[in-house]
Amino acid sequence: MKKTLISLILVLVCLIAINTVHGATYEHEVEAKGVTFAWKVDGDTLHGKVSAKTKGWVAVGFNPTDKMKDGNYILGYVKDGEAEVVDHFGNKSTGHSADDKLGGTSDVTLVGGSEDGGMTTIEFTIPMDSGDKYDSALSADGDTIVLLAFGPDRDSFKPRHRQYAKKTVNLSTGAVK
């Protein structure tokens, strides 16, 4: 009986650890043009996961005003089993730069990443409102414009997107327009 109880406890601890290592459980998901973005709002934090069939970068952007301008972009890729993620700002209608190179701060936290069967997945968290002038404040209620994109099969943020899409979502309910 005692061995069975100890075994059960060990199994539960392992299951909890596996869930923690692989990131959050996501409540909502949107897919467009081969890119999937899943998310969960937890208080003042957005937990996100972006995936696409590529061996290059994947990205999600929030609330641009003119094409890419003024949007907050999270880009990531996996190289040799190690994930990398960056926080960018749309400083032009067709371009973006790293927040910290513009005088802001990188406000993205990498949770994990994988590249399996040609599918790249990046998991991250960002504050809903970082206070950085190079991040748009996100609102859980109301409309949020979401840009989804992925690059060619190259582990670099330099190549332009191979595919992109724009959706309007409600971050709280998951409703997609």
Q: Are 62 and 168 in contact (CB under 8 A)?
A: no
Which string of DSSP letters, residue by residue, matches 35-70?
EEEEEEEETTEEEEEEEEE-SS-EEEEE--SBTTBT
pLDDT tens for residues 42-65?
999 999 999 999 999 999 999 999
Q: What is the pTM of this model?
A: 0.84
Domains with residue ranges and CATH for the chain: 26-169 (2.60.40.1210)
For residue 12, what pLDDT is reported? 40
For residue 1, what pLDDT is reported? 56
Q: Which of 12-26, 46-60, 77-91, 120-134 is the least confident region? A: 12-26
